[in-house]
Chains A and B, each alone.
Chain A
Amino acid sequence: MKNGTKATAKKGTGKINRVTIRISGSGGQGIISTGMLLGEAIAIGDERNVSQSQSYGPEARGGATCADIIVSDGEIFFPECNLLDILVAFTYEAYEKYASLTREKGIIIADQSAVDVLSGTAETIKVPFIETAREKFSKSIVANMIALGFLSGYTGIVTGGSLLDVVNDHYAGSKHRDANIRAINEGFKLAREYAGSAKVFI
């Protein structure tokens, strides 16, 4: 495999030259909608260039499913992710499958339950997304929203404001809106707990 277009995430410049993110888990965890919300928040809220795609075909049904987001302030010439800067994994299967695709200087954010033995060379941090969702919200489905909040707080790849706005838009008039907003804020809070090791991508 070729190296792909080189990713650089210079700290403090405010400019991004291609950052690749993969959200992965199993069908029914809201992976695809998480990817769409993240993409929309960055593209329209933060006004950066984004292309977002997802796995189609047999692998999209059950098993590991993923949504890819590529962020850049320049043109996105290669809209496929063959090397990842950020991997978010909700299941062990997803972690095992994609950890090795994560760049050495990238970061893996995995649900606590998803990591057994470390694989890949990228730094891996374990966060209790599903556990927090169960404990504080009594439903594991909001785990993806907690992860979005965490991703924002921890990496800065998306601004918290845009994230809240996009969720507000999508769940306007829905009974799930408040829980989702609270879950994102919970993610922000978790990110602050991990702040010591935070990796800044912008």
Chain B
Amino acid sequence: MTLNRKSPRGNPLLFIQGNEACVYGAIHAGCNFFAGYPITPSTEITEGMSVNLPGIGGTFMQMEDEIASIAAIIGASAAGAVSMTATSGPGFSLMQENIGYAYMVQLPIVIINVQRGGPSTGLPTMLSQADTMQARWGTHGDYTAIVLTASSVQEAYNVTIRAFQIADRFSTPVIVLLDELIGHMREKVELTMINNKNPVRRKLPEVPPEWYFPYKNTLDMVSHPAPFGEGFRYNITGLIHDKAGFPSSVEHEVINRMEFLRNKIMQHCQEIWDYREFYTEDAKYLIIAYGSAARAARGAIETLRNMRIKGGLIELKTVWPFPYLPISKIAEKAKSKIIFVAENNMGQLVHPVNEIFSNSVKVFNINRFDGHAIDPYEIVDMVKENIYA
């Protein structure tokens, strides 16, 4: 006898790590190029891609470091590949300069950062959410980042697929921010997109090459640079550029470029924002969290509700652009009195939350930064302590 590994919908069921789920997600999304440098706790992604990509006609490159890795996937993306890399804290720091380049030249790439603790090499094998701000503000200059996250192995699979779709949709880097706990633990996963009929494939422009401008404003405010080698000739540069891609410091063109980079994302927030609500309708005490901290918060809410304390949770699936609007609407509707932000760091996600509620509602931060997951009871205690204070 063997195990029945089919879900009721006929999809394969696996018992795998979050990192392995990312590999399946990437392959099912249509990824065909990976360049990376192994680093704990993301190594299984690099390993998995090296095993799986060659078999489906993709390319795997082990690079000499993370700077080379990000450069390689940007180059591959310029040539039309659906490309990604995976790393953790120290590697993510090394990648920052080129991530900024990718924002500027508007090429779709996916970067998975499985967060570890501490600055520098820190805590390689332990859990942290300390790159929350770096994912938003890591590279220099003004730009708008898209950062997605997951709180279970199934979600790691789903979010990886979504990251590729969004990167392609907005022609921009998408960062998937996982934490060590989600990356390393094994859970049951249903491979829902194994027969994906619409894998991400880079589109060619609809105009003939002689009319083509890679960075021209379009109706939906998104430009898609054509893959190199298809006859569409244009310039790619990290300098502020005009619609043809050539450097320009003319005032209106600078403003146009900068606003374009922001607006293509901010005007489509509704498409990007993703979050889940738990008992928020009447949540006098509202918790905001993502990743493994949100998992603990869900447990805390159940316990609080059993104690007849009106707790609720907004679990973020999109960390950036920060869902200011939905959060303030939910809190307003529920007439929330105190907001708690639970996170595995010394306080990062709390800042945008503070921006929303600066004067109107009290905001408390629940932090843990010893490399371990937040225990639901820590949240329960913190909530009880503050509502009776």
Instruction: Please encode chain B, from 309 to 320, with 1 for each CB lying within 8 Å of some chain A CB and 0 for all others.
Output: 000000000000
Known: A40-B15, A78-B376. A165 touches B1 (CB 8 A): yes
- When distances are taken between beta carbons in the complex, the residues of chain A under 8 Å from B41 are 56
Query: How far apart sit A50 and B373, CA to CA, in the bound complex (Å)?
Result: 17
Q: Is B186 an interface residue (CB 8 A)?
A: yes
Check: B372 CB closer than 8 A to any chain A CB. Answer: yes
The interface bits of chain A over 37-64 (1 if a CB of B lies within 8 angstroms of the residue's CB, else 0) are: 0011101110001111110110000000
Shortest CB distance B172–A (Å) = 32
- Known A-B contacts A3-B377, A51-B185, A52-B186; the reply to A75 vs B5 at CB < 8 A is no
Q: Which of A3, A78, A82, A166 sits near B296, CB closer than 8 Å?
A: A78
Count residues of chain B with CB under 8 A from any CB of chain A.
32
B15 contacts A4, C-beta separation under 8 Å: no
CB-based nearest B residue for A74? B302
Among B1, B302, B378, contact of A164 (Cβ-Cβ < 8 Å): B1
* Contacting residues, chain A, for B377 (C-beta < 8 A): 2-5
Given contacts A43-B15, A51-B186, contact A169 B2 (CB under 8 A): yes
- Number of residue pairs spanning A and B whose beta carbons lie under 8 angstroms apart: 92
Q: Quick one: closest A residue to B381, CB to CB? A: A2
- Kindly state the separation between the CA atoms of A166 and B377 in the bound complex, as whole angstroms: 35
B224 at the interface (CB under 8 A from A): no
Is B184 engaged at the interface, CB distance under 8 Å to the other chain? yes
Q: Whole-angstrom distance from the CB of B74 to the nearest CB of chain A?
A: 31
What 1/0 flags go to B113-156 for Cβ under 8 Å of A?
00000000000111000000000000000000000000000000
Interface contact B124-A57, CB-CB below 8 Å:
yes
Query: Which of chain B's residues has its CB closest to A169's CB?
Result: B2
- Are the CB atoms of A39 and B15 closer together than 8 Å? yes
Task: Find the A residue at minimum CB distance from B374.
Answer: A78
B298 on interface, CB distance cutoff 8 Å: yes
Question: In the complex, are the beta carbons of A79 and B3 less than 8 A apart?
Answer: no
Say yes or no: is B295 at the interface (Cβ < 8 Å to chain A). Answer: yes
Q: Does B64 contact A (CB under 8 A)?
A: no
Q: For A44, list chain B residues within 8 Å (CB).
A: 3-5, 13, 15, 188
Contact A43 B299 (CB under 8 A): no
* Binary CB contact string for chain B from 286 to 310 against chain A (1 if under 8 A, 0 otherwise): 0000001001101110100000000
Q: Which residues of A contact B296 (CB under 8 A)?
A: 77-78
Query: Is B186 within 8 A of A57, CB to CB?
Result: no
Central interface residue in B2, B40, B186, by most chain A CB within 10 Å: B186
One digit per residue, 1 when the CB lies within 8 angstroms of any chain A CB and 0 when it does not, for chain B 159-171 equals 0000000000000
Contact in complex: A45, B3 (CB < 8 Å): yes
A159 vs chain B, min Cβ distance (A): 11
Contact (Cβ within 8 A) A79 B185: yes
Provide the B177-204 mask, 1 if CB < 8 A to any CB of A, else 0. 0000100111110000000000000000
- Cβ of A168 under 8 Å from chain B: yes
Q: How far is B130's CA from A199's CA once the two chains are assembled, in angstroms?
A: 42
A51 to B302, CA, bound (A): 19
User: Which of B3, B302, B373, B378 gathers the greatest number of chain A CB atoms within 10 Å?
Assistant: B3
Q: Is the CB of A165 within 8 A of B3?
A: yes
Instruction: Provide the A163-179 mask, 1 if CB < 8 A to any CB of B, else 0.
Output: 01110110010000000
- Inter-chain contacts of A51 with B (CB < 8 A): 185-187
Complex Cα gap A56–B126 (Å): 8
Determine the distance from Cα of A3 to Cα of B295 in the docked complex, in whole angstroms.
Answer: 17
Max chain B CB contacts within 10 Å: which of A44, A52, A54, A169? A44
Q: Which of A36, A53, A57, A162 contacts B3 (CB 8 A)?
A: A162
**Does B375 make an interface contact (CB < 8 A)?**
yes
Interface pair A57/B125, CB less than 8 Å apart: yes
Which chain B residues lie closer than 8 Å to A169 at the CB level?
2-3
Does B15 contact A36, Cβ atoms closer than 8 Å? yes
Would A168 and B376 count as touching, CB distance under 8 A? no
Task: Name which residue of chain B comes closest to A82, CB basis.
Answer: B375
A54 to chain B, nearest CB (A): 8
Interface assignment of A80: CB less than 8 Å from any CB of chain B: yes
A27–B228 alpha-carbon span in the complex (Å):
50
- Evaluate whether A5 and B299 lie within 8 angstroms (CB atoms) in the complex, with A36-B186, A53-B184 already known: yes
Q: Point out the residues of chain A lying under 8 angstroms from B373, CB to CB.
A: 78-80
In the complex, what residues of B have CB within 8 A of residue A41's CB? 3
CA distance A166 to B5 in the complex (A): 10
- Bound-complex Cα distance A168 to B3 (A): 9
Q: A36-B186, A44-B15, A161-B1 are in contact. Are A79 and B375 (CB under 8 A)?
A: no
Q: How far is the CB of B374 from chain A (nearest CB, A)?
A: 8
**CB-CB nearest in chain B for A70:** B185
Given contacts A56-B125, A78-B299, A172-B2, 9 further A-B contacts (CB under 8 A): A5-B375, A44-B4, A53-B185, A78-B296, A78-B373, A79-B181, A165-B1, A168-B1, A169-B3
Residues in A lying within 8 Å of B, measured CB to CB: 2-5, 36, 39-41, 43-45, 49-54, 56-57, 75-80, 82, 161-162, 164-166, 168-169, 172
A to B CB contacts below 8 Å, 13 in the list: A2-B377, A2-B378, A4-B377, A44-B5, A52-B187, A53-B181, A76-B295, A77-B302, A77-B376, A79-B181, A80-B181, A161-B1, A168-B1
